Every structure is written in C-alpha cells, then in structure tokens.
C-alpha cells in the first residue's frame, strides 16, 4: 500500500523510552515505517540521564533550527538525534520542564476545549499532558514550514493524545491518528476482578471512570477517540471494548507485529538454547540441590516461564499457578522421571536478594573449581589405567586429596529445609499474592514436588546476579512460555517466545490469541496453543491449561522439536511486512479527511 503522506510524525511516551509494550511496537516497526516514509520522525520525552543511553544526538538539521529556536522561546527544549536501534530512525525528544509552572493554564485549556476533567489529575497525568501538548506545538510549527505537503501525526495512547487535540484546536492541516492499545477504564475494571466483558453493554463509562478515580485519563482518551481523523486499536478485543467505552468504532485495526529479521534463525536458536540452558541448569543446581531430597535429573527437566507486569488476574497468573498445582499432583501419581521448573519473571517490590542463594551459588562454583583443579590428574590416571588394562576403581583414578577437598565443599553446600519460592525477599512478603497462592496450592518446592516454582521478581537485564541472562536469552533457555491472560489488548510475549523458537500458550481473550486462533485453527500440532477463556468458567480455563501442560510434559524430544518449528513458523503471521499496511491505511484515511 502506498502512503499518501509526505511526512509522518509518530508521537509516543515510549519512543526511545522503554516502559511497556508500546516500546516494542514502535521499535519493531521502525524499519517498515522508514520504507514507507522518507521523512519519518519519532517524538518522545527527553529524560535526563536515560535518553543519552538510547539516542545518539546530532546537530539539528538546518530546516528544524528555526523551529527549535521558536520552541525554546516558549520554554520548550527539543533535541534531535537517531534512536540507537538497527533501523536508526530520526527522533526528536522534548523536554517540557520549562512549562511546568503553566500546568494549571493547560488544564484549564483542555477542560474548556474538550471537557477533560483533570481536577484530580496528579503528576502521572500532568507530565505527559505537558509533553504531548508541546509535541503538538512542535508538529504545528514544522507543518507551517512545509506548505503543500501531506503530513500525518500518529499518536499512541492518551499520553500522546494532547498533540492531536492541539493540532485540531489550531485547525492545522495535519491528519491525526489516535491508537488506543488498551482503554484506561477497561484495564482498571478487569484488574479489580470484575467481569469486564459481561459488563460492557450495560456500564456507564463516565460514571465508572469517576468511580475508579481515572476520569482525567478517561476524558482525555475519550476526547482523542472522538476528535482524531482516524481512530485505531490494536486488536478485535480492544475494538469491542473501545466502541463501548469510548463511543467510537475503530476505523482500522493496527495489529501489533514483530520484525522477524531481528530474531535468530532456527539453526542459531538451537545453539543458543544449548548455551543458555547450561547456564540455567547451573542455576537449578545451586538453587535446589543443596537441600536434602531435592536432586533430580536436569536432562529430564523442562522449564516453563511467565513474564510481564504484576497484574495477577489480568495476566492470568492465577490460572498459571492453579494449573501448575494440578500438574504437580498428577506427576506425583504418575511417578514420571520428568520435572518441571516454572518461572514467574514478574518484577515486584523487593527488599534484598536472599543470602542463602548467594552462599549456595558461591559454594557450587567453588566445588566446580575444586573438581576442575584435579581434572588433569584424573584424566592422566584414567588414561594410564585403561592403557595398562588395570581394573578401574575410584581409588586408583581419584587422588586421595581430591576426596578430602570435595568432601569439605559438599558439606558446606548442604542445607536444611526447602528451597525458597522466590529469589528475593519481597516487600510485605506475607501479603504478596503470588507467595500466598503458592503456599495455598502446596507449591512450596518440597522434595516430593515434581513441579518447582521460582518467583523471580527482578528485570532480566543480563546482570541480575543469578541467571545473568537477557530477556530473550532467558526465553531461549526454556521449553514453554505461558501467557493465559484474562485482559490483554494484544500480548507480545507469546509471539516473542515463538520468535525465539519456544512454544507458547495464550488465550482467546488476548488480542494476539484471538488473531492467531483464526489463523491456526486447522493446525494439528501447534507451536502456539490458544486456551479458550471467552464465556468459560475459571475452573474450565484452569483444566484446559493443565491439559496443555500435561500433554507437553509427555512429548518426547523430537515432538518438542516439531512444536518449536511450528512456533517459529507462526511468527510469520505477525511480521510487520504483513501488518504495516494497517498503519498506512489509517494514515491515508486521516490524510483524506484533511485534504
């Protein structure tokens, strides 16, 4: 599809600023956006000390110098550079700190112009309001220097929406597109434990927003949806929600994709899996094996994982743990050789790292160092005895001093009790939902348990002190990604997992799951399972997820390999090469409306 706009501005709080899933959207589609637009600019917030790590700042282009000077006269600083990702898109970061003193005047303007009620709006509302208002001024000024050119402004979420509201207020000849990735009210209601989808047809959105104390963000979102030239959402799930809550049916569904070219091919993933798996096995060795009765065969151990924000019900953490509890009881009865270690990679408030795990890690690597120290001597003894045809015994292969050295290390390595359920001591740990549920379900890492669970409440940045694996490398080490969300407007994690050659589970209430459910319905041996949640009871969902777990545990090595290939193949359905036209269609609708 050919783009009608000559210049495209994409405005997002997450442009070169990693916060959540929108960051992945913008980053992964930048290459395709540059192919469609010669003049493509990302506009994001300048964050001192952080932006310098992500953006290579450059001299301001000649045509932008006068605009930036005018902005500075209005106490708004703009910086130009290139986002340091593979596609190197142009980016303008805005520092709106100079207009903080004017925030009440801006609130008044938005109330009088669009009915945005920000009386109770705090800094988490005010900061993006000021930044996005400044972004609108910037686009207006640039547009004034480009007469005769078609210009489109793509704004993500309410945080960026003030830019389009300003452009409309000034009657600027700029097509505006508003994308809601999840409505504020929908997320709030779903997260509170209420049945959002059962209430959609009868709720009073405005009344509910005030009841949830989110009216400032809701009224902004509503104004953006009603005012934009083109309104879009990221999935059919969110489209249904947005039509009821924001009062407008989306013009286009801009489904989220990935740039599959940025992910390794299967051959490289096989190598990466072995490398990262070995690191994970080292972690299991010092996490579980110091405790009596905890040894199990790592060759027969499967690693499951869940990753995301700490939204216990929305992300399906409740279903995940319940299904793991059922799996544990079944595996005990079957007395299988298999074991499952299930991770919860969900950042949470922590007080400190557990000292006993650090000690066990140190003893483990000291033991390995001791063994390595004697390895040459052991190899020589073994070779000599084999060549001399002597009978092999521990005493004539292993040096006497080796036994005493190792015995001391093993003694230090031993611990009493059970392995902890989390790698860190959590803030208010006794009240933490995950920790309480693990205890209730009997998933306490006892020696009799076939399913072990580890709550890992820190970001996977490659330097956490234990796994020391990056986000994608940690995925690659595992066997199954689990994302049984109740509320998930799209859900990148199943696709990311599949792109790393790791089969995944999602649901038909997730935007991604709904999309793939239709595309993969005829596939016999899937690499991505779609658990049915729509219209089903909690226990039915748990049973369905348990069935996926149980069936997967009993696959042999070759069958798991087939699922890996199928997962990788499914990613092609979400490649930006296929999906970018949805964005171009929305931009073209906006351009047509302002011409």
- Token pair for residue 431? 């009240």
Q: Pick out the chain residues at pLDDT < 50.
A: none
Distance CA 483, CA 487 (A): 11
Find residue 451's DSSP bridge partners: 340
Distance CA 534, CA 588 (A): 34
CB atoms within 10 A of CB 197: 20
pLDDT at 373: 85
Q: How far, in Å, are 30, 113, 157, 231 from residue 223 at the CA level?
A: 27, 10, 12, 11
pLDDT at 255: 96
Characterise 115 by phi-psi region: left (phi > 0), alpha (psi -120 to 50), beta (else). left
* CA 33, chain centre distance (Å): 22
Is 67 within 8 Å of 38 (Cβ atoms)?
no
Q: What share of the chain is helix, strand, coil (3-state, %, to 5)?
A: 50, 15, 30
pLDDT at 350: 97
Distance CA 182, CA 161 (A): 14
Task: Write the DSSP symbol of residue 428.
Answer: T
What angle (nearest 5°) sits at the alpha carbon of residue 326, between those of residues 322 and 330? 165
- Token pair for residue 245? 């809550």
Q: How far, in Å, are 110, 165, 336, 564 from residue 176 at the CA level?
A: 18, 9, 59, 41
Sheet containing strand 451-455, strands side by side: 451-455, 339-345, 301-307, 480-482, 504-507, 528-531
Distance CA 159, CA 464 (A): 31
- How many CA atoms does the CB half-sphere of 7 hold within 13 Å? 21
Residues ≥6 apart with Cβ < 8 Å to 199: 189
Nearest to 501 by CA among 296, 175, 272: 272
Is 490 within 8 Å of 157 (Cβ atoms)?
no
pLDDT at 129: 98
pLDDT at 377: 82
Distance CA 555, CA 563 (A): 10
Residues ≥6 apart with Cβ < 8 Å to 513: 485, 488, 491, 494, 506, 507, 530, 531
Q: What pTM was computed for the model? A: 0.90
Q: For residue 378, which phi and psi values (nearest 5 degrees)?
A: -65, -40
- Token pair for residue 312? 């216990």
Distance CA 521, CA 525 (A): 10
Residues in the chain, overall count: 595
pLDDT at 406: 85
pLDDT at 397: 80
Task: Write the DSSP symbol of residue 497.
Answer: H
| Backbone CA torsion sign across 15, 17, 20, 21 | positive
Q: Which long-range contacts does 529-534 make (Cβ < 8 Å, 24+ apart)?
A: 529/503, 529/504, 529/505, 530/506, 531/484, 531/505, 531/506, 531/507, 532/507, 532/508, 533/484, 533/486, 533/507, 533/508, 533/509, 534/197, 534/508, 534/509
Is 472 within 8 Å of 534 (Cβ atoms)?
no
């Amino acid at each position: 599809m050919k783009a009608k706009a000559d210049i495209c501005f994409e405005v997002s709080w997450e442009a070169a600023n990693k916060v959540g899933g929108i960051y992945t959207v913008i980053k992964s589609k930048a290459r395709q956006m540059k192919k469609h637009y010669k003049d493509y600019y990302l506009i994001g917030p300048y964050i001192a000390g952080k932006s310098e790590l992500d953006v290579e700042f450059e001299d301001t282009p000649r045509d932008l110098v006068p605009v930036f000077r005018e902005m500075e006269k209005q106490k708004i600083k703009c910086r130009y550079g290139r986002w340091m990702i593979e596609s190197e898109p142009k980016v303008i970061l805005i520092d709106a700190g100079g207009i903080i003193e004017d925030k009440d005047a801006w609130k008044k303007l938005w109330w009088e112009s669009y009915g945005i009620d920000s009386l109770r709006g705090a800094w988490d509302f005010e900061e993006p309001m000021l930044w996005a208002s400044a972004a609108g001024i910037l686009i207006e000024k640039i547009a004034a220097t480009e007469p005769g050119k078609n210009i489109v402004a793509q704004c993500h979420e309410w945080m960026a929406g003030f830019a389009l509201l300003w452009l409309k207020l000034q009657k600027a000849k700029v097509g505006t597109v508003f994308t809601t990735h999840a409505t504020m009210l929908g997320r709030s209601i779903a997260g509170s434990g209420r049945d959002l989808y059962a209430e959609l047809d009868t709720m009073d959105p405005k009344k509910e927003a005030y009841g949830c104390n989110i009216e400032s963000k809701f009224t902004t979102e509503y104004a953006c949806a009603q005012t934009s030239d083109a309104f879009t959402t990221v999935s059919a799930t969110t489209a249904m929600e947005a039509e009821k809550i924001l009062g407008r049916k989306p013009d286009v569904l801009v489904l989220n994709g990935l740039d599959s070219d940025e992910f390794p091919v299967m051959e490289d993933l096989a190598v990466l899996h072995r490398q990262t798996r070995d690191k994970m096995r080292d972690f299991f060795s010092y996490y579980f094996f110091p405790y009596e009765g905890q040894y199990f065969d790592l060759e027969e151990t499967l690693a499951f994982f869940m990753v995301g924000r700490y939204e216990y019900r929305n992300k399906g953490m409740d279903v995940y743990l319940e299904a793991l509890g059922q799996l544990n009881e079944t595996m005990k009865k079957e007395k299988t050789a298999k074991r499952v270690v299930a991770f919860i990679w969900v950042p949470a408030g922590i007080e400190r790292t557990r000292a006993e795990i650090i000690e066990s890690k140190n003893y483990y690597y000291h033991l390995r160092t001791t063994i390595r120290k004697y390895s040459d001597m052991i190899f020589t003894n073994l070779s000599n005895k084999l060549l001399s045809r002597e009978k092999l015994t521990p005493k004539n292969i292993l040096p006497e001093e080796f036994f005493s050295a190792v015995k001391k290390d093993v003694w230090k390595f031993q611990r009493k009790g059970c392995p902890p359920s989390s790698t860190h001591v959590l803030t208010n740990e006794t009240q933490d939902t995950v920790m309480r549920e693990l205890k209730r379900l009997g998933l306490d890492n006892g020696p009799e348990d076939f399913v072990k669970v580890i709550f890992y409440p820190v970001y996977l940045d490659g330097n956490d002190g234990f796994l020391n694996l990056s986000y994608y490398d940690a995925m690659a080490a595992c066997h199954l990604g689990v994302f049984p969300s109740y509320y998930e407007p799209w859900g990148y994690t199943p696709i990311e997992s599949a792109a790393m050659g790791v089969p995944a589970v999602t649901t038909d209430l997730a935007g991604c799951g709904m999309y793939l459910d239709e595309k993969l319905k005829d596939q016999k041996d899937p690499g991505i399972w779609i658990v049915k949640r729509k219209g089903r009871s909690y226990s039915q969902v748990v049973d369905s997820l348990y069935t996926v777990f149980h069936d997967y545990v009993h696959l042999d090595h070759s069958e798991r390999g087939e699922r890996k290939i199928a997962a990788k193949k499914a990613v092609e359905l979400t490649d930006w090469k296929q999906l970018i036209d949805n964005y171009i269609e929305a931009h073209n609708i906006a351009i047509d409306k302002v011409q």
